[in-house]
């Protein structure tokens, strides 16, 4: 199982995950998972050029049993390392049913229904998300980000190969491809293959149903935090985001941060914008280009003046100019010329032109007394 190429792949995934300027290659493995790419495409995200590589992976997996697991999966390599800690597995793992096909089918079904609810379970997403602990951000989010991968990898110590063989949806996806291959070759199907049990039928049907039902209900509800530009509507955004953390990683100004807000459990680890030390650049499209699930839709940097993240609100009572102090930082900082000084000589105050403001946060970031807040749109 442990081919040298797999260790090389793990080393590459780790190297790319380190905080180095590698741009959209930060989590290259995300583009390689046919499970993740299929879910993104089924839920309506346009295919990124790199994601075409996943089609090649799919063909290879069709030829050879679990080709991705054997050659590329960084999470699987870590699992094997953990399993090697204790020789000979416990028997408990053997009693857990093979759920991986069902999980893959449920995820694909949900994506076909419009919402890739289980994208976060993909092992490359778990792997990528775990590296969030390397980035500045809330400590709670760092622990949470690490927890998923730690649980998957750690489970191999008491229950070797429990994750890889029985739970992993990407493994299940490849097992389904194996079922297809056997069917094409008229070979006898495996006992709990795709066409065997009712479980798989039930899983894909319920996934599809959940996706369809949720798609409708997730359209409702506004934002309470500012999301990255061109993010899906709030409910769908939280359900679609696979928490890989790539947008957090690629944001050049460091304003994309994973949420650790426990009062919004559905939004945990989903990216939100915080304008404390920076703002959203008027000519940047990095997060949109790097999102593997389309939770942040791809957009053109040239459209940036029309993609509304929110609107600036200035509290006059905290504003320096209103208090007669020398300041015009918000006016000078606004890339869209949306703030001007209004009022007469002794009631001068900055005023936001709601038609021009897109909520990029430059005014909030620069305001010396912190009198500006971006209200999410």
Task: Establish if 250 lies at the interface with other proteins (CB under 8 A).
Answer: no
30 vs 334 by CB, closer to other proteins: 334
Q: Residue 52 CB: number of other CB atoms within 10 A?
A: 11
DSSP code, position 163: I
**Which value, in Å, is the radius of gyration of the alpha carbons in the chain?**
23
Task: Establish if 377 lies at the interface with other proteins (CB under 8 A).
Answer: no
Angle at 162 between CA 157 and CA 166, to 5 degrees: 170
Question: Hunting for tokens 């007669």 — which residue is that?
Answer: 324
Q: Which of residues 68-127 bind other proteins (CB under 8 A)?
A: none
**Shortest separation between residue 294's beta carbon and other proteins, angstroms:** 24
Burial of 227 (0-12, 13-18, 19+ CB in 10 A): buried
Task: Establish if 341 lies at the interface with other proteins (CB under 8 A).
Answer: yes
Mapped onto helix, strand or coil, the DSSP state of residue 375 is: strand
Total residues contacting other proteins by CB under 8 A comes to 33
Say how far apart CA 295 and CA 138 lie, in whole Å: 22
Give the one residue of 45, 61, 280, 287 binding other proteins; rule: CB under 8 A.
280
64 vs 253 by CB, closer to other proteins: 253
With the CA atoms of 175, 181, 187 and 190 taken in that order, what torsion angle do they form, in degrees rounded to the nearest 10? Answer: 10
Task: Establish if 3 lies at the interface with other proteins (CB under 8 A).
Answer: no
Give the one residue of 109, 114, 278, 288 binding other proteins; rule: CB under 8 A.
278
Task: Establish if 18 lies at the interface with other proteins (CB under 8 A).
Answer: no
169-184 vs 52-63: helix crossing angle, rounded to 10: 60
The structure tokens listed for 345 are: 């000589």
For 321, phi and psi rounded to 5 degrees? -65, -40
String marking each residue 352-371 x if it binds other proteins according to CB under 8 A: ----------x--xxxx---
Give the one residue of 328, 337, 356, 375 binding other proteins; rule: CB under 8 A.
328
3 vs 349 by CB, closer to other proteins: 349
**Shortest separation between residue 249's beta carbon and other proteins, angstroms:** 15
**Shortest separation between residue 283's beta carbon and other proteins, angstroms:** 10
The site for other proteins (CB under 8 A) is made up of 252-255, 276-281, 284, 321-329, 332-333, 340-341, 344-346, 348, 362, 365-368
């Amino acid at each position: 199982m442990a081919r040298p190429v797999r260790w090389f792949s793990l080393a590459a995934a780790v190297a790319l995950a380190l905080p180095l300027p590698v741009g959209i290659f930060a989590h290259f493995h995300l583009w390689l998972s046919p499970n993740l790419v299929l879910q993104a495409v089924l839920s309506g995200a346009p295919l990124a050029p790199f994601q075409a590589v996943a089609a090649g992976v799919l063909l290879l997996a069709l030829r050879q049993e679990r080709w991705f697991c054997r050659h590329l999966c960084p999470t699987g390599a870590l699992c094997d390392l953990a399993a090697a800690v204790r020789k000979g597995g416990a028997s408990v793992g053997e009693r857990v049913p093979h759920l991986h096909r069902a999980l893959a089918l449920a995820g694909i079904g949900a994506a076909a229904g419009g919402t890739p609810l289980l994208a976060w379970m993909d092992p490359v997403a778990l792997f990528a998300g775990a590296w969030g602990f390397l980035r500045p951000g809330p400590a709670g989010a760092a622990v949470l980000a690490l927890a998923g991968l730690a649980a998957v990898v750690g489970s191999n110590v008491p229950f070797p190969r429990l994750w890889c063989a029985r739970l992993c949806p990407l493994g299940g996806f490849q097992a389904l491809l194996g079922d297809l291959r056997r069917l094409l070759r008229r070979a006898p199907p495996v006992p709990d293959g795709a066409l065997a049990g009712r479980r798989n039928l039930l899983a894909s049907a319920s996934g599809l149903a959940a996706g369809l039902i949720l798609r409708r209900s997730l359209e409702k509800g506004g934002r309470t935090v500012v999301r990255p530009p061109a993010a899906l509507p709030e409910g769908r955004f939280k359900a679609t985001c696979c928490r890989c953390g790539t947008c957090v990683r690629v944001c050049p100004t460091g304003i994309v941060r994973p949420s650790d807000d426990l009062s919004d459990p559905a939004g945990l680890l989903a990216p939100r914008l915080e304008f404390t030390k920076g703002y959203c650049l008027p000519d940047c499209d990095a997060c949109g280009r790097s999102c593997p699930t389309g939770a942040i839709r791809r957009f053109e940097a040239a459209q940036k003046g029309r993609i509304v993240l929110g609107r600036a609100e200035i509290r006059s009572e905290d504003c320096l100019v209103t208090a007669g102090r020398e300041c015009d930082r918000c006016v000078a900082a606004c890339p869209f010329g949306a703030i001007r000084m209004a009022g007469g000589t002794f009631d001068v105050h900055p005023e936001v032109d709601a038609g021009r403001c897109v909520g990029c946060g430059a005014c909030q970031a620069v305001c010396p007394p912190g009198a500006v807040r971006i209200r999410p749109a």
